[in-house]
Every structure is written in C-alpha cells, then in structure tokens.
Structure 1
Amino acid sequence: MAFSRSNIWRVLIVDDDDTLRLLLGEMLQILGLEVTAAGDGAEALAQLAAGESFDLLITDIRMPGHIDGPVLANSARALYPAMRVVVMTGYGGERVAALPDDMPILKKPFRLKDLQELISDLGLASTP
C-alpha cells in the first residue's frame, strides 16, 4: 500500500501544536488535499501501522515523547517507502542535519505560497 487510491491525495500532518495543526490542515485542504491529523508521533505511527494509506506525511521535527519527527519520518519510510515525507521546523541544528538529504524541510513560519510550491515540487496535485 504505497499511495491512496482515491481521487484526492491524502496527507497525514503531525504536530503537537493544536493551532498550527489546524492551520496547516486548512491550508492543505485549500490546495485540494485530504487531511488527517495526529497530535504526536505515537498517534501517527499507530495510524500508519494500522494500515492507513497516505501519500504524504508532514511532521514537526520537535515533539514530546520518544517518537519525534525524525523517528516518525524514518519509521514511516520503513513502513511505506514510496510515501513522501516532509519535516517542519523553525530550528536548525543536529536534528535537521541528521535527516536524509532527500527529505524536504518546510521552514516555519511558512505561507500558503510556500506550501503550494512544496506540494507542486513533490508532484502532488489535487487529482493524482
């Protein structure tokens, strides 16, 4: 199960900040994507492990608990190698440096235009 089979690309967003998660979800819906959200890495990993199919995972790099963004990203890629993964951060440092070179980083704060360019660069359109 690499990609969803519906007419709309499915995105799983993961962030412990309720406001940012809601705002990002609304932005992605404006861009024509179907959104599911999780408040932390454990919740997201449970959804993925249960077989939910997503085309894109967007996760914050820093989250509470033992499943932060890099751990979630690597686990998601292990489960679904074809799923695209983007990491959001307002920081730099070792966590960013530890990410694979082919993993896009969405720098906070971002605008709808930035998100639209990222989605376009990833090859995701409102109709797969």
Structure 2
Amino acid sequence: MSLTQPLSVFKVLVVEDDEILRMCTANVVADAGFMTVEAANADEAIAILESCSDIALVFTDIQMPGSMDGLGLAQTVHDRWPAIKIILVSGRVELSERDRPVNSRYFQKPFAMKQMIEGLQDMIRSAEVQPVQSLDSRQDKFR
C-alpha cells in the first residue's frame, strides 16, 4: 500500500518518563515529518488518547513509573484503540513477538535513529489510519 497522505498529517504520541529523551525523540519524530504529542507516563498517554481521536501511532518506552509501564500501556492501547500502531523501546527489557501486542514493533536501546524513523514510516504506510484533521501545529505538548 502506498502512502497517499503526507506524513505530516499523522500524529505520533511519544511516551517517555525521561524529559530529555522524550524531547529528543519527539524532535526526531517531528523532523521525520510527523506531528507529535508528548506524555511523561502511561496515565498522561491514556488521557491524551481519550481526548484525541487522531493519534496514529504510540511510541513508548517500557520502563516507566506510574500505574502501568509501557508494556501495559501498549496492551491497553491495543485493546481500546486497535487501529493505533505501537512501537515499544527499552534498554533493559528483551521482548519477543509473543510478549507484545499484535501489530506492534520493538526496538532495543540504543537504536539507530534511521532505524526508528524507518519503522515509524513503515508502520504508518501499512496502517489503515485516518490522518488528523488539522495541521495547525507540527508539535503539540501535553502538560
């Protein structure tokens, strides 16, 4: 399936508890042409997902404080919003395909930014997702 919409119409939710890593990842995602939204933990991510119907992909770290870790978030996203694609990353946890939700991907930290960007683009291209309705801003911040 070819990508018929420009990448800039797709929103990626970046979930990372480390502020610097979250900002860097969001910047790379934005530089790759996607709109970004940021969350510091799974609880913030769920609140964003409940209020925004236009998230195409969730990019989440696995180790996070709060009511659930990134793997729990990924499973919740898969159960509640099955059309949203998921990328999981970790520097400490090894995941097999059976350990993660269907149609998700896993990257071991450290990973090459090119690899991550290609993974995002490939998942968006293979997804039957709806683009966002507004292009007011390339980067939304959740506070």
Q: TM-score, normalised by structure 1?
A: 0.82
- Give the match's secondary structure for 1:23: helix
Moved more, 10-19 or 50-59: 50-59
Q: CA offset at residue 49 of structure 1?
A: 1.8
- Give the match's secondary structure for 1:55: strand
- Give the match's secondary structure for 2:124: coil
CA distance in 2, matches of 1:113, 1:50: 31
Q: Show the counterpart of 2:16.
A: 15
Distance of aligned partners of 1:47 and 1:120 in 2 relative to their CA distance in 1, 3 Å threshold: closer
Identity between Structure 1 and Structure 2 (%): 29
Q: Show the counterpart of 1:99.
A: 100
Q: CA offset at residue 66 of structure 1?
A: 2.0
Distance of aligned partners of 1:102 and 1:124 in 2 relative to their CA distance in 1, 3 Å threshold: closer
Q: Show the counterpart of 1:33.
A: 34
Q: Is the 8 A contact 2:74 2:101 kept in 1?
A: no
Q: Paired residues, what number?
A: 119
CA distance in 1, matches of 2:87, 2:101: 11
CA distance in 2, matches of 1:51, 1:109: 30
Q: Give the RMSD, CA atoms, in angstroms.
A: 2.1
Q: Is the 8 A contact 1:9 1:124 kept in 2?
A: no
Paired AA for residue 110 in structure 2: P
Q: Is the 8 A contact 2:58 2:84 kept in 1?
A: yes
Alignment of 1:1-128 (within 5 A): 8-93=9-94, 96-97=95-96, 98-100=99-101, 102-124=103-125
Q: Is the 8 A contact 1:11 1:57 kept in 2?
A: yes
Q: CA offset at residue 84 of structure 1?
A: 0.3
Paired AA for residue 68 in structure 2: I
Q: TM-score, normalised by structure 2?
A: 0.74
Unaligned runs of at least 5 residues, structure 1: 1-5
Q: Which runs of 4+ in 1 moved over 4 A?
A: none
Q: Is the 8 A contact 2:14 2:60 kept in 1?
A: yes
Unaligned runs of at least 5 residues, structure 2: 1-6, 132-143
